Amino acid sequence: MKLSADQKKQAHDMMELWEDDVLERYPENPNKPKEEFRNYDNPARDTVKEFYRMNHTHQTYDFVLEKEKEFLSLNRREMSLWDAVEYLNTLVDDSDPDIDLDQTQHLLQTSEAIRADGQPDWFVLTGFLHDLGKVLCLFGEPQWAVVGDTFPVGCQFSDKIVYPDFFKANPDYTNERYNTKLGVYQENCGLRNVHMSWGHDEYLYHIMKDHLPEEGLYMIRYHSFYAQHREHAYDHLMDKHDHAMFKWVDKFNPYDLYTKAPVKPNVKELRPYYEDLAAKYLPDTLRF
């Protein structure tokens, strides 16, 4: 499905609004003026609330299973990493003029901050890859099924999830199979056995699961799972291994949130490094 310029702009703007909303909810420094990140106005917040109303209404257990069946055969397209990044850039054809950064530049800001701190090269590559699953927007998925905070489905929705009241419109909210603390799961069953709400994190995890170290895969799969890595709302589903791996999610998160700036990375100069790095870990083409 080919998106119009207006649809691409809408998808891009919703991504930015969600990211801004996360920054507002979880500032690195609570005393730092919010205008130092982005300027928030009332219409933006209204839009975010509408986004979460749709997300929380429609992200049911059955919906997630249907999307996993639809997309995880990875038969939409085959692309090299750089072709995929350039494809994702088409989301910002009509991007917001006050910060004119395409997806490549955001990914590079994240990964270059990781590299500057001397982290392992797989960590650097994970930073460059982490949002690539947003190509779901270009396959026709609505924004509420691509971005946004993620959470388990098939069990009770935690009140630590943003805008929890919107879950009252979700059919699973009153379904006795799904509305208990454990729902369809067992105590401390491990997140590998839990279905997460559908979006770019889960999608990219499946694209990359045979290619990156487990620590990087946890970063990709759970970097939007704020109800857990900020609120610890789902300890009862996690096992000891999950808790150990979430230290890497916590380590990654500041690089994702706090490296956004209007200064553009030099893509031409950096591209050879990332092509060589990708060649070390990834096949020549990836299935999407």
> 179-217: per-residue pLDDT in tens?
999 999 999 999 999 999 999 999 999 999 999 999 999
**pLDDT tens string 33-76:** 544 443 334 444 567 889 999 999 999 999 999 999 999 999 99
**pLDDT tens string 83-123:** 999 998 887 533 233 345 677 888 999 999 999 999 999 99
Indicate whether 4 pLDDT > 50: yes
Rounded to 10 degrees, the C-alpha dihedral 56/206/62/136 comes to: 60
Rounded to 10 degrees, the C-alpha dihedral 13/147/254/287 comes to: -110
- Between CA 84 and CA 285 the distance in angstroms is 9
Structure tokens at 141: 């998925």
This prediction has a pTM of 0.84
Q: Phi and psi at residue 79, in whole multiples of 5°?
A: -145, 150
pLDDT of 262 reads 65
In sequence order, what are the residues at sequence separation of 6 or more whose Cβ sits closer than 8 angstroms to the Cβ of residue 129?
A: 81, 107, 204, 208, 212, 220
